[in-house]
Amino acid sequence: MSRRVYSEFPAYIRIPLYAFVGIALLLLMLPLAVALPISINADPWFTYPFRAISLRWFTQLFSSPLWTGAMVNSLVIAVSTTVVATILGTLAAIGLVNPRFPFRAAVMALAISPMIVPVVVLGLGLFIFFSPLGLNYSYAGVVIAHTILASPFVVITVTATLTRFDFNLMRAAAGLGAGRVTAFRTVMLPIIAPGVAAGAIFAFASSFDEVVMVLFIAGPQQRTVPKQMFTGLREQLDPTILAAAAVMILLTSCLMAVAYNANRKR
């Protein structure tokens, strides 16, 4: 298959195409470009132009126990969610690529439904469901809630990787004496690792900036950065929120870059 190079297209197609893509990207970036610089405004106002530039909001972010506690919570919950969602999602994907899986299409639809169902509905449902179980206002409850939202990302990325996986390799491994677990660990996992890693990063990101579930399920002990930002918006609006946002964006961008590089090396 020969790939068409864009410079081969005639100018009357190429220029509008570039322009359209440029505008679309700009639309995605513009809100960030407007909001983020305010985090280095020396004054506590959300207005341009700045009178002076300072890192005081970042200092405040990292010195306030309210914010540092929220950051620790966010990381703990996101990492736990990532581990649980990656394991569950990978196992689900392995089962769901098997054409003999009963009611495969229906189960697949169910597995990725949390991406489609409104989170408010899920959150309310979980809140009611968790009450008799005592899972509201607990770390476990928040991790379960986030796992529900994060697993579909893993299912989708791992399924995509597995469709290119040659299952004869698992037969070959079995024929050479490897049990199922050994064969999975030594043959399948190393080959599908990029898909699993990509799914894990999406899972992390989806938990790390999640706010709706947290508003329903989390108590004061489980206050995460997005929840802190949300309360901050209502109670004491100052650019610390934007400093927190900048840190979160930086962190997730780094993760994405790592994943991109890991995928490219293969």
Partner 1 sequence: MVQPPIHVGMTGISKTYDGHSFVVRNLNLEIAKGEFLTLLGPSGSGKTTTLMMLAGFEYPSSGEITLDGRPIQDKPPEKRNIGMVFQNYALFPHMTVAENVGYSLRVRGLSKEQIGARVSEALAMVQLSSLAQRKPAALSGGQQQRVALARALVFEPSLVLMDEPLGALDKKLREDLQLEIRRIADRLDLTVVYVTHDQHEALTMSDRVAIFSDGCIQQIGSAQDIYGCPANRFVAEFVGDNNCLDAKVISIEGELVRARLPGGQEVRARGSAHSKVDQRATIAIRPESIRISGQARAATLRGQVCDIIYCGDQFRIHVELPGGERLIAKSSSSLGVRMEMGSPVLLDWEPHDAWALDGR
Q: Which of 85, 105, 87, 120 is nearest to 204 (CA)?
A: 85
Residue with tokens 């197609």: 13
Q: Which is nearer to partner 1, 109 or 172 (CB)?
A: 172
Kindly state the tokens that stand for 73.
């919570």
Q: How far is the CB of 261 from partner 1 (least distance, A)?
A: 18
3-class DSSP state of 41: strand
Exposed e or buried b per residue across 119-138, where buried means at least 16 C-beta atoms within 10 angstroms of its C-beta: beebbeebbeebeeeebbeb
Write out the residues near partner 1 by the rule CB under 8 A.
166, 168-169, 171-179, 182-183, 186-187, 190-191
* Minimum CB–partner distance for residue 166 and partner 1 (Å): 7
* Burial class for 94, CB neighbours closer than 10 Å (0-12, 13-18, 19+): middle
Give least dist CB 263 to partner 1, A. Answer: 14
Nearer to partner 1, 8 or 166 (CB): 166
Give residue 105's identity as a one-letter amino acid code: A
Of 231, 213, 224, the C-alpha closest to 248 is: 224
Residue 209 CB partners (closer than 8 Å, separation 6+):
226, 248, 252
Give the largest CA-CA distance in the chain: 72
Give the orientation angle of helix 65-96 with respect to helix 139-162, to 10 degrees: 40
Residue placing its CB nearer to partner 1 in the complex, 75 or 193: 193
Least distance to partner 1 from the beta carbon of 186, Å? 8
Report the distance separating Cα 141 and Cα 130, nearest Å: 7
The nearest distance, CB 188 to partner 1, in angstroms, is 10
CB of 16 to partner 1, least distance (A): 40
Which CB sits closer to partner 1, 44 or 179?
A: 179
Nearer to partner 1, 234 or 266 (CB): 266
**Which CB atom, from 75 or from 170, has the smaller least distance to partner 1?**
170
The answer to whether 8 and 2 have CB atoms below 8 angstroms apart is: no
Q: Minimal distance in Å, beta carbon 122 to partner 1?
A: 38
